[in-house]
Amino acid sequence: MTQEPMLRANIYVDGFNFYYGALKHRPHLKWLDYRALAEELLSGYEINTVRYFTAPALNRLNDKSASQRQGVYLQALEENSAIEIYKGQFKESPAWLPLAKELKEGNLKFVQVMKTVEKGSDASLAAYLVRDSCHREMDVALVMSNDSDLQTPVDIAEQEGITVITVNPHEQRNQQRVLRSSDKRTLDEGILRRSQLADPVVTAKGRKIYKPRPWS
C-alpha cells in the first residue's frame, strides 16, 4: 500500500509584525528559529521554503546596539535554519503630529517628531506569496502576520487552490482588522520556547554565533 506524499508548505514571516506582536516583550524568546516554529505549527507537513521578511534595525539613543543584535541573529538564522531572508528598509523623516495628552483634553498642540516607516517587507511578502501560489510551489502557505494589508494576496493564493493558514502574533482583543484565511494556528509561549535556535549556532566553518546577552 503506497503512502500518500505529505503536503508541501511554504512559510511567509512578516518579521516586524511578528516581533512586535510576540517577541518585543519576551527577550528570552527572540532567538527564534522560524523553521522549527513552522514544524511545530504544521506537524505532518513537509516544510519547503521559509521566507523571512524584515528590515535592518536602526540604533536609537536609548539602544545603540539594536542593529548589531539583529545582525548577529540574522547570521544565526540563515546559517542554522535554511531560511531565505528578504530585507526592506526604514525611512526616517520629520513630521508634525498632535500631542496625545493635549488632544485627549480637547486641545490641539503639534510637535515635530522623527517618523520612522518600514518600507518594502509587506510588498515583498505579498509578491512572493502570489508568485509561489501561481507557480504551484506549495500546497499550503503559512502566513505569520495579522496585517490586513495582506488580505488581497491571501485571497489570490486561495483562489489559486492554495490552502492559506495564518498565525496572528498579536493578542486578538480589540482588533477590528484581522487577516482572514482558510485556517488558523495559535501561538503560546511553550511553542516559542521549543522553537529556539541552538546557543551557540555553529557554522559550517566551526565559528560559534552566540545569542546576544540582553536576550538571555
* Sequence ranges of the domains in the chain: 8-87+120-215, 91-117
Residue 123 is predicted with a pLDDT of: 93
Cα distance between residue 142 and residue 156, in whole Å: 14
Question: How many whole angstroms from its chain centre is CA 189?
Answer: 16
Q: Percentage of the chain with pLDDT > 90?
A: 70
What's the rounded mean pLDDT across residues 160-180?
Answer: 84
pLDDT grade for 81, boundaries at 50, 70 and 90? confident
CB crowding 106-140: b at 16 or more within 10 Å, else e: eeeeeeeeeeeebebbbebbbebbbebbeeeebbb
Q: What is the pLDDT of residue 57?
A: 81
Q: Hey, what CATH class is 8-87+120-215 in?
A: alpha beta
pTM of the model: 0.88
Note the maximum CA span of the chain. 75
Which grid coordinates belong to 131?
Answer: 508568485
Cα dist from 82 to 73, 94, 110, 143, whole Å: 14, 39, 47, 18
% of the chain beyond a pLDDT of 70? 90
206: pLDDT strictly greater than 80? yes
Give how far Cα 140 sits from Cα of 85, 154, 177, Å: 20, 11, 23
Confidence at residue 100, expressed as pLDDT on a 0 to 100 scale: 80
Q: Confidence class of residue 213 from pLDDT cuts 50, 70 and 90?
A: very high
Q: Residue 8's closest CA among 105, 101, 137?
A: 137
Lowest average pLDDT, out of 20-24, 39-43, 112-116, 184-188, goes to 112-116
The residue ranking higher by pLDDT, 113 or 85, is 85
At residue 116, the pLDDT reads: 58
Q: What per-residue confidence (pLDDT) applies to 90?
A: 56
Mean pLDDT of the chain: 89
* Burial of residue 22, with CB atoms counted within 10 A of its CB: 0-12 exposed, 13-18 middle, 19 or more buried: buried
**Residue 155 confidence (pLDDT) above 60:** yes
Residue 139 neighbours by CB under 8 Å, 6+ apart: 7, 8, 9, 162, 163
- The predicted pLDDT at position 34 comes to 98
Give the CA distances from residue 176 to residues 78, 106, 131, 171, 172, in Å, rounded to whole numbers and listed in that order.
35, 25, 29, 12, 9
pLDDT digits (tens, 9 = 90+) for 33-79: 999 999 999 999 999 999 999 988 877 777 789 899 999 999 999 99
